[in-house]
Every structure is written in structure tokens, then in C-alpha cells.
Amino acid sequence: MRCKICGEKPVIYMKHHRLALCGKDFISWFERYTERTIKEFRMFKKEDKILVAVSGGKDSLALWYVLSKLGYKADGLYIDLGIGEYSRTSYEKVKGMAEKIGRKLIVKKLSEDVLPLPDLINLSGREACSLCGVLKRYNFNKVAVEYGYSVVATGHNLDDEASSLLANVINWNVKYLGKKEPVLKEEEGFVRKVKPLCKFMEKETALYCLLNDIDFIEEECPFSEDASTIFYKHILNDIEERFPGTKMRFYLEYVKKIKPLFEKVIKGKTPELKRCNICGQPSPSDICPVCKLKERVLK
């Protein structure tokens, strides 16, 4: 097999694109493809102020790097969850990237705002990732509004998106199926949220990091034992192996054809959002879930 562009020895063969590329041509393909996805879904423009949610993992760091290389005004937001050594190492990786690309990094420490995540899990008795998700989404939006960013970008890849879609189809989670897409439009109190890497497979973002000397944290978060997500990823990988292109088709056909149908079903059925009396963030009740949690901690 040869690189389709230059004929050199390839470093990757992407079965679903029927494309073999060498390292140099893979990097430029990855960057062009990112730009195309941003335009395809009208995610943002060159003049937008973008806040990239960076965790220190391969996807978010690849995203921050590629956006800055493409000339976007993208700064980073790191939420320090206070998970011991894991958080310390991931912060070092994020800091390293901020220095490498010369962009601003905003750091928000959960321990200064409420408590470190492990203490909050003990106190609330909630499942780690669901609690962490609420806190992260809250802070992404709050920081973006406070600092004047119009878009929050996250590093979700195709494997993340297709596996969570599969999980939600299997459980017929209608509310989710009417909302999930690469762009969540801005609305009262919420900035726009986008996923520019949603058409790349995990191994492609990992290779992009490797070829660009991007130093990311390889260890998994100690709470990442959500066996169901990993299980769904395995199932999709098995299907993909047998029928290349399935993962991409499953996700993109949903976005284009199925999501609009579910959108109609949930229209008018989602409760109207108010403003939290304490923090001013959009909330389904007078006090938002995060401020309720903070009150519990204080008590």
C-alpha cells in the first residue's frame, strides 16, 4: 500500500475512507477535514472567540492544537477536578499545550468553588461521571459567558458520539435523540457548543497527536469505569471491522435524517428554563442543581 498523495510508505489506512496516507499528508488531511467539518455544520467563523474545554487527553489537546494551527482564536479552559495525581498530570499536559501554541489558559478549580470531585461523590452519593458531567457543563457555560466567549468547543470524536447515540437508541431516550448533534445552538443564557472532531475516529486523533509531538495524558480517569460506554464502543468497533463506514453512517444519517424527526416530538415538551436566583445561570428551577449542591456542602 502507498500514500494516496505522494506514493510514500503510509502510516495509516482508513478503511472507511479507503485512504492510505503518509505522516505528512495525514497531518494536512486531518487539518483540511477539520476545517470542512467546521464549515459543514456552521460551527464558527474566524472572528469568533472560542473556548476549548481541555482535559489533558488526546482529543481535547488535538482539537486545541488544530484550531490554533488553522488560525482560530481559541483559548483553553481546564477544570481541575481535584482527582489527586490524575488531575496534577493532566494539568501539566494542558499547560504544556498552552505554552506550545501561545494561547491563554483559564483554570477553574472545583476545590475552590465547591469541593474536589471525590469528596462531592461521597457527599452526594451520585454516580461519578453523571455528577462530573453536570459540573463540567455548568462551568463551561458559566466561564464562557463571564469571559465573553461565543462558542465552547469540546473534543468529542466519532467513537464517543456513535457509542452514546447507540446507548440512547437502545434505551429510546427520546429527549436526548431530539437534541444530540455536532452543534448545540446558543439560546437564552447558553453559548453555542460544538464538536469539530465528531467525524474522526479515536485512532485518528491519537495519530495526529503522535505526529505533532502532542504530549497528552494516557492514563484513564480513576472514575472511568462506566462499563456501558466502553461496551458500546466495542460493539461498534466489531461492526465497523466487518462493515467499514458503519460508524460514520450511523452517526451522520442520524444527524441529517433522524434527529429532525425527534426534534419535532420533543418540541414544546421541554420545561422552560428560568435563571438561578443565586448564580444567574439557566436553570429548570429557582436554584440550579450546582448551587443546590453548594448549599448542601455548606450545611
Residues near ligand SF4 (CB under 6 A)? 128-129, 132-133, 221, 223-224
Write down how long the chain is: 299
135 forms part of the interface with Zn ion (CB under 5 A): no
CA distance to 84, 87, 233, 290, per residue, from 111 (Å): 12, 12, 32, 14
276 forms part of the interface with Zn ion (CB under 5 A): yes
176 binds, among Zn ion, ligand SF4, none (CB under 5 to 8 A by kind): none
Of 279, 285, 286, 299, which lies in the binding site for Zn ion, with binding defined by CB under 5 A? 279
Q: Which stretch binds Zn ion (CB under 5 A): 55-63, 164-172, 189-197, 274-282?
A: 274-282
Whole-number Å distance between alpha carbons of 2 and 22: 8
In three-state secondary structure terms, 69 is: helix
Whole-number Å distance between alpha carbons of 37 and 79: 26
184 binds, among Zn ion, ligand SF4, none (CB under 5 to 8 A by kind): none
288 forms part of the interface with Zn ion (CB under 5 A): yes
- The dihedral over CA atoms of 90, 91, 95, 101, expressed in degrees to the nearest 10, equals 40
Whole-number Å distance between alpha carbons of 37 and 120: 37
- Could you tell me the smallest distance in angstroms from the CB atom of residue 269 to ligand SF4? 27
- Could you tell me the smallest distance in angstroms from the CB atom of residue 135 to ligand SF4? 8
Whole-number Å distance between alpha carbons of 110 and 116: 5
288 binds, among Zn ion, ligand SF4, none (CB under 5 to 8 A by kind): Zn ion
Whole-number Å distance between alpha carbons of 155 and 56: 11
252 forms part of the interface with Zn ion (CB under 5 A): no
279 binds, among Zn ion, ligand SF4, none (CB under 5 to 8 A by kind): Zn ion
Question: Toward ligand SF4, which CB reaches closer, 72 or 140?
Answer: 140
221 binds, among Zn ion, ligand SF4, none (CB under 5 to 8 A by kind): ligand SF4
Cα–Cα nearest to 159, from 271, 51, 239? 239
- Could you tell me the smallest distance in angstroms from the CB atom of residue 289 to ligand SF4? 16
Question: Toward ligand SF4, which CB reaches closer, 103 or 136?
Answer: 136
For residue 17, what are the contacts with CB-CB under 8 A and spacing of at least 6? none
Question: Toward ligand SF4, which CB reaches closer, 187 or 219?
Answer: 219
